[in-house]
Amino acid sequence: MGAEISQLLKSVSPLQLGLIIAGVVLVVGVLIYNWWLERRVRRRITATFRQPDSVPVRPSGPPSLQRVEPTLRAAEPGIPQQVPADAVPRFRPPAVDDAAPGWQPPMDVVAQGPASEGSVNEVAAATPMAQSTDGDAGGHRKPDPEIECIVTLQPAKPVGVGALAAGLHARLGKRLRWFGRIAPDAPWQILASDTRGEFVEVAACLLLADRNGAASRAQLDMFVRVLSELAPLLPAAMSVPDAGAETERAETLDRLCADVDVQIGLTLLKGDAAGIPGTKLRGVAEAAGFKLATGGRFEWVQEETGAIHYTMQNLRNEPFTVNTLRLSATNGVVMLLDVPRVADPPRVFDQMKLAAKRLAHTLGADLVDDNRRPLDDAALAAIRKQVDAAAVALREVGIEPGSPRALALFGA
């Protein structure tokens, strides 16, 4: 083997040997440089990034309220009538005066100079969840650092939305909102592909949790990657929170929302074998103010706001369509109140209760619970107390029922 190598070296000219050695040295040099550069970047990240204050973990023990499926759970021992104030965690950022030395709000993870410090702090210092006073119930028109992972960009010069097209059209599995401001002290405005103007600061906001679960580490990493690829093209400095801490916040937020997610159903059951003809059901429902929606259910929508107050769906596991209503019958329907998604849930429950009684009378059906036991006024009053308790529990954690924040967290 040694003789073969020696013979090979003799056949190589000094020039070729020099080129081989130079190539090896170049490759080793590139590897060493890449390792040094990566280490330098990591050290800069460690030195400048600060973990955002994470959501406090919910105390162990039985949850105060369970996530309720679209069936009635009223007057049953599984759901308490009241929620102790100390049993529901409040996930609010600590006051700056009380924070540990060196602590900064989640958004202020990289100082970008006078032009960005005030604007970044304004996002992180948004009014606590239970005390929103911006008239928009949870900061719908500005970044919401308590339920969103926020990455800010400070472009070297003002940019229009055309420069952000790759980010605006990103699909990450969770709601993604983009905001911009035309001056450091100007209010945020939500960005869309047709928004006009140029912006000195941009904030990308990824929702941390919804009814599909918490934002995963992979989703958060992809979110940061999209922004990391966009920033050099502007070019822009970028402020990024710690992905690990954001993942923990997302999981805690999802657990908290699951504990206060309540849906109440009232069942209208037709006892005879003929059931309720679909044509009659549709006529009665539309006369009562319901509209057949594309999701296969009837919706009662408030005309002034466009908000869905409650819905009515087939008792069978079959969606309502124009054709099925014309050709078939059903043995019952379920009227459903989605407590977190309506403003003033007790009042809306009262409306749904009256509508259910009228429909039951018109259709010749019985108003029953999910165990097919008749519901009298006492049972309905007990359900109303549970609706009120659920609304209180939502407000205790800073989620106003029916607010944009609630619609985001309790949407699919």
Query: Do residues 282 and 236 both lie within one domain?
Result: no
- CA angle centred on 11, ends 10 and 17, rounded to 5°: 80
Instruction: Look at residue 258 and tell me whether its pLDDT is greater than 90.
Output: yes
Inside any domain, residue 79? no
Q: Are 373 and 232 in contact (CB under 8 A)?
A: no
Where among 194, 224, 257 does a domain terminate? 257
Q: Tell me which of 387 and 74 has the higher pLDDT.
A: 387
Inside any domain, residue 73? no
- Return d(Cα 175, Cα 165) in angstroms, integer: 16
376: domain CATH number is 3.30.1400.10
Which run of H or of E encompasses 298?
strand 298-301
- Return d(Cα 384, Cα 99) in angstroms, integer: 41
Query: Do residues 253 and 311 both lie within one domain?
Result: no
Instruction: Look at residue 399 and tell me whether its pLDDT is greater than 60.
Output: yes
Query: Do residues 166 and 184 both lie within one domain?
Result: yes
Q: Residue 221's CB: how many other CB atoms inside 10 A?
A: 13
Query: Do residues 238 and 271 both lie within one domain?
Result: no
pLDDT tens for 236-250 read: 999 999 999 999 999
Where among 257, 284, 318 does a domain terminate? 257
Mean pLDDT within 83-103: 35
pLDDT tens for 211-229 read: 999 999 999 999 999 999 9
Q: Residue 394 corresponds to which tokens in the numbers above?
A: 């939502």
Query: Do residues 139 and 119 both lie within one domain?
Result: yes
Q: Residue 366 corresponds to which tokens in the numbers above?
A: 């019985």
Mean pLDDT within 145-154: 96
The pLDDT confidence band at residue 35, using thresholds 50, 70 and 90, is low
Which run of H or of E encompasses 310?
strand 308-314
Instruction: Look at residue 369 and tell me whether its pLDDT is greater than 70.
Output: yes
Inside any domain, residue 78? no
Where among 257, 278, 310 does a domain terminate? 257
Q: Residue 131's CB: how many other CB atoms inside 10 A?
A: 8
Q: Edge to edge, what strands does the sheet with 189-190 contain?
A: 189-190, 176-181, 201-207, 148-155, 236-239
Query: Do residues 297 and 175 both lie within one domain?
Result: no
The pLDDT confidence band at residue 41, using thresholds 50, 70 and 90, is very low
Which run of H or of E encompasses 314?
strand 308-314
Mean pLDDT within 288-315: 93
Identify the pLDDT of residue 23.
Answer: 78
- Return d(Cα 76, Cα 390) in angstroms, integer: 15
Instruction: Look at residue 330 and tell me whether its pLDDT is greater than 60.
Output: yes
Inside any domain, residue 202? yes
- Return d(Cα 151, Cα 79) in angstroms, integer: 39
The pLDDT confidence band at residue 62, using thresholds 50, 70 and 90, is very low
Q: Tell me which of 117 and 383 has the higher pLDDT.
A: 383
- Return d(Cα 93, Cα 99) in angstroms, integer: 9
Mean pLDDT within 150-156: 96
Which run of H or of E encompasses 16?
helix 14-48
- Return d(Cα 65, Cα 129) in angstroms, integer: 20
| Residue span of the structural domain in which 311 resides | 263-409
Calculate the CA dihedral of residues 234, 238, 243, 247 and round it to 10 degrees.
-80
Inside any domain, residue 72? no
Residues in the chain: 412
Identify the pLDDT of residue 409.
Answer: 97
Q: Are 73 and 379 in contact (CB under 8 A)?
A: no
Instruction: Look at residue 4 and tell me whether its pLDDT is greater than 50.
Output: yes
Identify the pLDDT of residue 160.
Answer: 94
- Return d(Cα 163, Cα 180) in angstroms, integer: 12
Q: Residue 364 corresponds to which tokens in the numbers above?
A: 């010749």
Q: Are 200 and 154 in contact (CB under 8 A)?
A: yes
Query: Do residues 115 and 237 both lie within one domain?
Result: yes
Inside any domain, residue 116? yes
The pLDDT confidence band at residue 233, using thresholds 50, 70 and 90, is very high
Q: Is 152 helix (H, G, I), strand (E, B) or coil?
A: strand
Inside any domain, residue 331? yes
Identify the pLDDT of residue 27.
Answer: 75
Query: Do residues 107 and 131 both lie within one domain?
Result: yes
Helices (H), 148-194: 165-168
Share of the chain above pLDDT 90, in %: 61
Inside any domain, residue 33? no
Query: Do residues 129 and 191 both lie within one domain?
Result: yes
The highest-confidence range among 58-67, 90-99, 297-306, 350-359, by mean pLDDT, is 350-359
Q: Are 186 and 153 in contact (CB under 8 A)?
A: no
Residue 250 backbone class (left: φ over 0; alpha: ψ -120 to 50; beta: rest): alpha
Query: Do residues 134 and 239 both lie within one domain?
Result: yes
Query: Do residues 185 and 235 both lie within one domain?
Result: yes
Per-position b or e across 55-82, b if 16+ CB within 10 A of its CB:
beebeeeebbbbebeeebbbbeeebbee
Q: Residue 128's CB: how many other CB atoms inside 10 A?
A: 15
**Phi/psi of residue 204, nearest 5 degrees:** -105, 130
- Return d(Cα 253, Cα 409) in angstroms, integer: 9
pLDDT tens for 178-205 read: 999 999 999 999 999 999 999 999 999 9
- Return d(Cα 269, Cα 283) in angstroms, integer: 17
Answer yes or no: pTM beyond 0.85. no
Domain count, the chain: 2
Identify the pLDDT of residue 31.
Answer: 74
Q: What is the mean pLDDT of the chain?
A: 78
Query: Do residues 107 and 181 both lie within one domain?
Result: yes
141: domain CATH number is 3.30.1400
The pLDDT confidence band at residue 410, using thresholds 50, 70 and 90, is very high
SS3 of 353-378: HHHHHHHHHHHCCEEECCCCCECCHH
Q: Work out the end-to-end distance of the chain between its first and last CA atoms, rounded to an integer number of angstroms.
A: 68
Identify the pLDDT of residue 111.
Answer: 29
Q: Are 124 and 106 in contact (CB under 8 A)?
A: yes
Which run of H or of E encompasses 257?
helix 243-259
